[in-house]
């Protein structure tokens, strides 16, 4: 990916080494459960995790970031700004205002508007505070554990999470909450549709990068490789040796690649209606 080093974005909050604060820590399953409850009952169940100012001792001092990590921060900043500049233009065409999201960098654990979460759960978007959260160590996992290297694979992750922000601004969260309320037995399937839509929205941004000639050879394959690597079927197969579609939350590798590719090819938000 052709990118320019512009330093750290004004939309980045750097909390690396600051510790996760007080409150309980959520694993991925717990985070998803509270997200479902919050959407169904239209209440912030994450607030139950907060325990005041956290108390306790201050976090231990951490080593300064390496030059390689700082370069990664600058890359993440470039991608974040590029994705949000793209959505600003897209929202202008839709005659809607675009509110920029913040991206929070953290180490190991972080307190968000959705409670305290661990880096092990992976990057996530919190609709309560309109922020994307990412532990940069995830990119090492993406490369080494999931076999998805490359800078555009990293960019895809950011574009997917900002895709959730776009869903929030377009009122699609409320649409999904209403659907869950009507059919609570369909909650897992609705979650999959919601995540696949974010993949498609990431593809809409990728379409823009292709139009502006900042893609390089192999970039699309890197993004598709990342989408496939984090498919529920592949993750379940790696973890347990079995695949159980009834427990999926994000969709299969094939589904994730398919919807990202649709957004890439069409470049239009209207094509990303996974609820049809």
Question: What's the pLDDT score for residue 24?
Answer: 44
122: left (phi over 0), alpha (psi -120 to 50) or beta: left
Residue 181 covered by a domain: yes
pLDDT score of 117 more than 70: yes
* Single pTM value for the model: 0.83
Residues 6+ apart with CB under 8 A from 124: 31, 114, 117, 132, 133, 161
89, 20 Cβ separation under 8 angstroms: no
Residue 94 covered by a domain: yes
Residue length of the chain: 276
134, 123 Cβ separation under 8 angstroms: yes
Question: What's the pLDDT score for residue 221?
Answer: 96
Residue 1 covered by a domain: no
Residue 274 covered by a domain: no
How is residue 98 written in tokens?
């675009």
Separation of alpha carbons 7 and 201, rounded Å? 26
Residue 139 covered by a domain: yes
Question: What's the pLDDT score for residue 185?
Answer: 86
Question: What's the pLDDT score for residue 173?
Answer: 82
How is residue 199 written in tokens?
């993949």
Structural domain span for residue 144: 12-269
Q: How many domains does the chain have?
A: 1
Name the maximum alpha-carbon separation found in the chain: 52
Separation of alpha carbons 151 and 157, rounded Å? 10
**36 falls in which pLDDT band (50, 70, 90)?**
low
Bigger pLDDT: 252 vs 55 = 252
pLDDT score of 25 more than 90: no
Per-residue burial over 235-268, b = 16 or more CB atoms within 10 Å of its CB, e = otherwise: bbeeeeeeeeeeebbbbbbebbbbbbbbbbeebe
pLDDT score of 31 more than 60: no
Bigger pLDDT: 63 vs 243 = 243
Residue 3 covered by a domain: no
Q: Which of 28, 214, 33 is nearest to 133 (CA)?
A: 28
DSSP string covering 181-232: HH-GGGHHHHHHHHHHHHHHHHHHHHHHHHHTT---TTHHHHHHHHHHHT-H
**275 falls in which pLDDT band (50, 70, 90)?**
confident
Residue 7 covered by a domain: no
Which pLDDT tens digit goes with each residue over 184-208? 888 889 999 999 999 999 999 999 9
Chain CA centroid to CA 24, Å: 21
Mean pLDDT of the region 121-144:
95
Residues 6+ apart with CB under 8 A from 91: 97, 98, 169
How is residue 205 written in tokens?
């941004």
Residue 4 covered by a domain: no
Question: Can you point out the beta strands (E) in the chain?
Answer: 12-14, 25-26, 102-106, 109-112, 115-118, 124-126, 131-135
**176 falls in which pLDDT band (50, 70, 90)?**
confident
How is residue 27 written in tokens?
């694993």
């Amino acid at each position: 990916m052709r990118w320019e080093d512009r330093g750290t974005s004004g939309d980045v909050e750097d909390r690396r080494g600051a510790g996760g604060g007080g409150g309980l820590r959520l694993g991925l399953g717990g985070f998803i459960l509270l997200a479902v409850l919050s959407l169904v009952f239209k209440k912030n169940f994450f607030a139950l995790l907060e325990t005041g100012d956290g108390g306790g001792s201050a976090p231990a001092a951490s080593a300064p970031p390496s030059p390689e990590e700082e370069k990664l921060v600058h890359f993440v900043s470039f991608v974040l700004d590029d994705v949000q500049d793209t959505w600003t233009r897209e929202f202008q065409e839709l005659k809607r205002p675009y509110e920029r999201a913040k991206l929070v960098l953290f180490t190991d654990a972080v307190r968000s508007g959705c409670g305290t979460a661990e880096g092990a759960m992976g990057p996530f978007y919190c609709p309560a505070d309109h922020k994307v959260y990412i532990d940069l160590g995830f990119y090492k996992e993406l490369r080494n554990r999931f076999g998805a290297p490359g800078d555009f694979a990293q960019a895809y992750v950011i574009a997917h999470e900002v895709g959730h922000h776009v869903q929030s601004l377009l009122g699609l969260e409320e649409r999904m909450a209403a659907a869950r309320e009507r059919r609570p037995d369909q909650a897992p399937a609705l979650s999959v549709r919601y995540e696949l839509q974010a993949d498609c929205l990431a593809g809409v941004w990728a379409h823009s990068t292709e139009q502006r000639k900042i893609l390089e050879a192999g970039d699309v394959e890197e993004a598709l490789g990342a989408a496939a690597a984090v498919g529920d079927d592949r993750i379940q197969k790696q973890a347990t040796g079995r695949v159980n579609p009834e427990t999926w939350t994000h969709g299969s590798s094939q589904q994730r690649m398919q919807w990202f590719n649709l957004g890439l090819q069409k470049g239009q938000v209207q094509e990303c209606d996974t609820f049809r």
